[in-house]
A and B are shown apart, each in its own frame.
Chain A
Amino acid sequence: MNAIEIRNLSKSFRGMYAVDHLNMTVPLGSIYGFIGENGSGKSTTQKLICGHLVKDEGEIKLFGKDYTDPGVRARVGALIESAGCFPNSSVYQNLRMQALNLNLADPDKEINRVLDIVRMTDSANIKFKSCSLGMKQRIGIAMALLGDPLLLILDEPINGLDTDGMRIMREILIDITLKYGCTVLISSHLLGELEKIATHYGIIRGGKMIAEISAKDMEKRARVFVSLKTKNLNGACEVLKQKFGNVRIEGEFIRVYDVESSEDIVKHLLENGHVVSQIEKNKVGLEEYYIELMSKKEEK
């Protein structure tokens, strides 16, 4: 069973498709990184799954059931755009209201549990409007975590956070999945951050899903490359192409793909009169995969 299964989902605004016959499969227990440019339809898709927007056509199934089923919806939590909290109420009061709405048997215990998960036990009495952006995002996740959800839908929860905030958020999301068996659908522009936590990826463009890939498959297709800098990029590139084949210039660097040792490259360049000023070994990751995918689509 999959946590989310979407078939042929469409949503238009004034005749323009924001989501265009989208198909999507989010496996149970996964952290699904949802990637796309601004206006690609990520947020609209998430809002449709949450029931905030009315779909034009298509099918959304959560845990094999229709997404409007109240039983299923009771196990869904979301942080879409903002935490949805009353600014003049305290963190505790906001959580208390959500706990009441969910008819939780022991609201206080549950509030303490989620505050502990998001590392905000000491901030319960602060007014929501006085919280920092990072705190607000964590409160939003705490709200979403009330009622023991099986599916969390998070729209750009790490954007705007500082390094420490991102690290905390990352730890929280991994905790949620591992300890509580929650499936997480998370959208973000920060591919490097997503790469650290996601088990699956979905790439959306123009409202259509252009690729879905697991982190394992991404790892399999990952290619090693050496990135180096010389004074004469074009000359050095030609020299390297003769020996190593798969070489190309990326900005101020030359990339040499599928090589085991960087020593051979440096030696070969020196023999041909090129001095290497900077060199490092890298792997083609999510960002490169994404750029490659986007450029392919642009060419088409």
Chain B
Amino acid sequence: MEKSYELNFEAPSFLKRIKGMLSVDFYRIFHTPLFYIFLCIAAIIPAMILGTMGAEGGEALYTNAWNIIAANKPLYVIESIGDYANMNMVFIFGGIMVSIFIGSDYRSGYVKQLFTTHAKKQDYMISKTITCAFSMACMCITYLLGGIAGALFAGNLSFEVDVFSLACAIIGKMIMSIGWAALYTFINVILRKFFGISIALSFFFGTGILIIGVAGIFEAIGIPSVLLNAFLYGSSVFACLDCGIFPLLSVLICLAVSVAWAMIYIVLGTTILSKSDVY
């Protein structure tokens, strides 16, 4: 007797595909220790800076507790560790987390399962970007809590601040997570065969050394540093306590830059993934 088969090939919509992939990524985030470890790291770092590096050559690293979150001014060129050590550091640990997260997709062979079914390369890029951006945004929050705890522990810091500016700076930095996550996803996708290099490169970009160097050159030849806001690190620095414009505008700048770079990296990553083997 001939068997009858139900040959039903309903193509899942983009939204359905993305929903599926996001569900997997968020399930992984919440069901593995990686996310929680990095949340703790993000909280411990500012607490440690304020607790153990409270003084530099006899002088306090900060006078205002909120400088552990954001600098007073957009400091593209840094002169001391105090200028550098703020919430932007989350994007350094975030890069390492993204490398481990995406690296395990490839090492376990999970991507093979993914791309055998209906998942498309663009879905992968978008889903990883959203999940990792969410993780980094959460790390910003634990960084904030760790910073407050550290400042309270230090005991000699001022908490005086314009709350609206501080909120805009924090939101601006959290928004920057989207662009950073897309950059790290892109790096890890193109360097999927070289886990060590992808971690090192993520770390390198996360530190902002490239933009800090360019800022030095800009300053030397008299080009306005504000142009650096077009880059991820530039905008991340621009989200500060006194950016020189209405604080909400800085949030909008962060949003525009972050989303624009995210789109660029997603398109580039999708193109490269589509034209190359999964392995």
Contacts and interface: CB of A to CB of B under 8 A. Distances in A.
Interface in A63-91: 63, 65, 69-78, 80-89
A27 to B, nearest CB: 12
A167 interface: no
A97 B275 CA distance: 26
Contacts of A50: 112, 115-116
Contacts of B24: 97-98, 100-101
Interface stretch (B3-11, B77-85, B128-136, B175-183): B3-11
Nearest to A13: B277
Contacts of B112: 50, 52, 78, 80-81, 84
A29 interface: yes
Contacts of A72: 9
Given A52-B279, A97-B27, A150-B7, A102 B108 contact: no
Nearest to A86: B108
A63 B9 CA distance: 9
Given A69-B9, A77-B116, A83 B109 contact: yes
B244 interface: no
The size bracket of the interface on A is 35 or more
A272 B212 CA distance: 98
Given A29-B3, A53-B277, A74-B118, A101 B21 contact: yes
B5 A102 contact: no
Contacts of B52: none
Interface in B1-37: 3-12, 16-17, 19-21, 23-24, 27-28, 31-32
The size bracket of the interface on B is 35 or more
Given A52-B277, A88-B32, A29 B116 contact: no
Contacts of B16: 103
Nearest to A53: B277
A100 B20 CA distance: 5
A211 interface: no
A101 B20 contact: yes
Contacts of B118: 70-71, 73-74, 102
A7 interface: no
B42 to A, nearest CB: 22
Contacts of A47: 277-279
Interface of B: 3-12, 16-17, 19-21, 23-24, 27-28, 31-32, 104, 108-120, 274-279
29 contacts: A28-B5, A50-B112, A50-B115, A50-B116, A51-B116, A51-B278, A53-B279, A54-B277, A63-B9, A70-B12, A70-B120, A74-B10, A77-B116, A77-B117, A86-B28, A87-B108, A88-B32, A93-B31, A97-B24, A97-B27, A98-B24, A98-B113, A100-B20, A100-B27, A102-B20, A103-B12, A103-B23, A181-B3, A181-B6
Interface of A: 1, 28-29, 47, 50-54, 63, 65, 69-78, 80-89, 93, 96-98, 100-103, 143-144, 147, 150, 153, 181
